[in-house]
Amino acid sequence: MKNLEKKWALVTGSSRGIGQQIALGLARRNCNVIVHGRTLSNTEETIQLLKDLDVKVHSVSGDLATEAGITSVIEGVKSGPGYVDILYNNAAIMNTWKEVWQIPMDQWQKVFQVNLFTVVQLCNAFVPGMIERKFGRVINLTSGIQDTPHLAPYGVSKAAIDKYTKDLAAELKETNVLVNHVDPGWLKTDMGGENAENEVETVLPGALVPALLEDNGPSGRFFAAQDFKELD
């Protein structure tokens, strides 16, 4: 698998939960990490966990539900490492549980803003540089959610992520910028809840597989993190 030493990875929503695990997993493979949270203070826990690892760490902040927040993240990267080799689009939100007919449009719009439109904006900001450097890995977190109309905005936004991933992979064919999507599984996080099937740590090592692909490897593919949970 690909050596990530000296590469820079931006992991959105890495102040806790799945994103924090992904940040730690990448750092253990010698990848420098850009930690993201809504505020810089939110990133402190992850930064402390990364201190004992021999990698560089940078932090950025911004509420991905707002244009100002997205701009803050992009500018924060530019004022730090200046570029991204691995873009891990982990951050997402879920709507309030309601009958599908009663979900207000502002919830649909906010969920799509964070879960889809932010992903598009970050790809627009950082993928052209990957093309120029002839290396890049974009990993979009998806979901296996189905038959849950009460959470339709979340589920539909993740279906859109799947389609966007495949379209972007087609655009980037033969550039060595690989774009794939990962289902982390149902995990015990703030979003997944305490009744989830798996501990958050089981997202590793599977969630890292698309970041570790060799040059010109598979793109536009789906990976299930839980398929790899028995591996070291």
pLDDT in tens, 34-48: 999 999 999 999 999
Please give the tally of structural domains in the chain: 1
CATH code for position 70: 3.40.50.720
CA–CA–CA angle 136, 117, 149 (5° rounding): 115
Full residue range of the structural domain in which residue 32 is found: 8-228
Could you tell me if 115 and 162 are in contact, meaning their C-beta atoms sit under 8 angstroms apart? no
Look at residues 215, 63, 33 and name the one whose alpha carbon lies nearest to residue 137. 215
Catalytic residue among 83, 88, 154, 164: 154
Give me the pLDDT at residue 188, please.
Answer: 66
Question: Is 154 noted as a catalytic residue in this protein?
Answer: yes
Give me the pLDDT at residue 191, please.
Answer: 66
- pTM, 2 dp: 0.95
pLDDT in tens, the chain (232 residues): 678 999 999 999 999 999 999 999 999 999 999 999 999 999 999 999 999 999 999 999 999 999 999 999 999 999 999 999 999 999 999 999 999 999 999 999 999 999 999 999 999 999 999 999 999 999 999 999 999 999 999 999 999 999 999 999 999 999 999 999 999 986 667 666 777 577 888 999 999 999 999 999 999 999 999 999 767 5
96 assigned to some structural domain: yes
1 assigned to some structural domain: no
pLDDT in tens, 116-130: 999 999 999 999 999
